[in-house]
A and B are shown apart, each in its own frame.
Chain A
Amino acid sequence: GDSVTQMEGPVTLSEEAFLTINCTYTATGYPSLFWYVQYPGEGLQLLLKATKADDKGSNKGFEATYRKETTSFHLEKGSVQVSDSAVYFCALPYYNQGGKLIFGQGTELSVKP
């Protein structure tokens, strides 16, 4: 069945370091792909999305490219800040099931000054 796998955390980086959080998926068809972020004590916020192969989603300095050939949607940021400390979730919709999203297990990022 459809699934999402993320790299395990926690990931600890120093400020201004380069970030990659890996996400791979298995899916029926070619669904849109999403990254959500959960800051401490808050809910899930949509960070970025890509709707088709080779699309690059970007927001707040984060980027992710929809790679059909490797079934991946890795999240990257060139220079992280302490304020980026959060849990990041990769997600995709179940095939033909609207708003039913499958989430990865989440990757906790901790950025130290």
Chain B
Amino acid sequence: EPEVTQTPSHQVTQMGQEVILRCVPISNHLYFYWYRQILGQKVEFLVSFYNNEISEKSEIFDDQFSVERPDGSNFTLKIRSTKLEDSAMYFCASSEAEGPPLYFGPGTRLLVL
């Protein structure tokens, strides 16, 4: 069964450093998403992406965040200058049509020191 994959599974970085989280969505899906889950808190929507542009973003997704689909298979989330509060599990998801069901990857656990 096709699945969403994410790399790395864990990332440790210093505050102020840039990180890029990578995702390979399911191949025939057209809509892509990033969510995050701060430890002990709810899963929160960050951004949705379709046709090479952002279609929706939350207030969390400020100027330090960006997304890109650099080729036909990868979907990336970049955090330009990480902060301590960016420490979270970041989930990529994709869907065939706009809206659910969404299929989530296993997540990247980001720790900012």
Give complex CA distance A91, B43 in Å: 10
Q: Judge whether A98 and B31 touch: CB under 8 Å.
A: yes
Q: Place the interface of chain B in its size category.
A: 20 to 34
Q: Does B91 contact A (CB under 8 A)?
A: yes
Q: Does B75 contact A (CB under 8 A)?
A: no
List chain B residues, Cβ under 8 A from A44: 43, 91, 93, 104
Q: Does A28 contact B (CB under 8 A)?
A: no
Residue among A45, A98, A102, A105 making CB contact with B56, cutoff 8 Å: A98
Q: Judge whether A101 and B102 touch: CB under 8 Å.
A: yes
Q: How far is the CB of A58 from chain B (nearest CB, A)?
A: 15
Residue among A49, A100, A102, A105 making CB contact with B101, cutoff 8 Å: A49
Q: How far is the CB of B78 from chain A (nearest CB, A)?
A: 20
Q: Does A70 contact B (CB under 8 A)?
A: no
Give complex CA distance A106, B43 in Å: 9
Q: Name the residue of chain B whose CB is nearest to the CB of A103.
A: B43
Q: Does A89 contact B (CB under 8 A)?
A: yes
Q: Does A69 contact B (CB under 8 A)?
A: no
List chain B residues, Cβ under 8 A from A34: 100-101
List chain A residues, Cβ under 8 A from B105: 43
Residue among B31, B43, B106 making CB contact with A42, cutoff 8 Å: B106
Q: How far is the CB of A66 from chain B (nearest CB, A)?
A: 14
Chain B contacts with A in 80-95, Cβ cutoff 8 A: 91, 93, 95
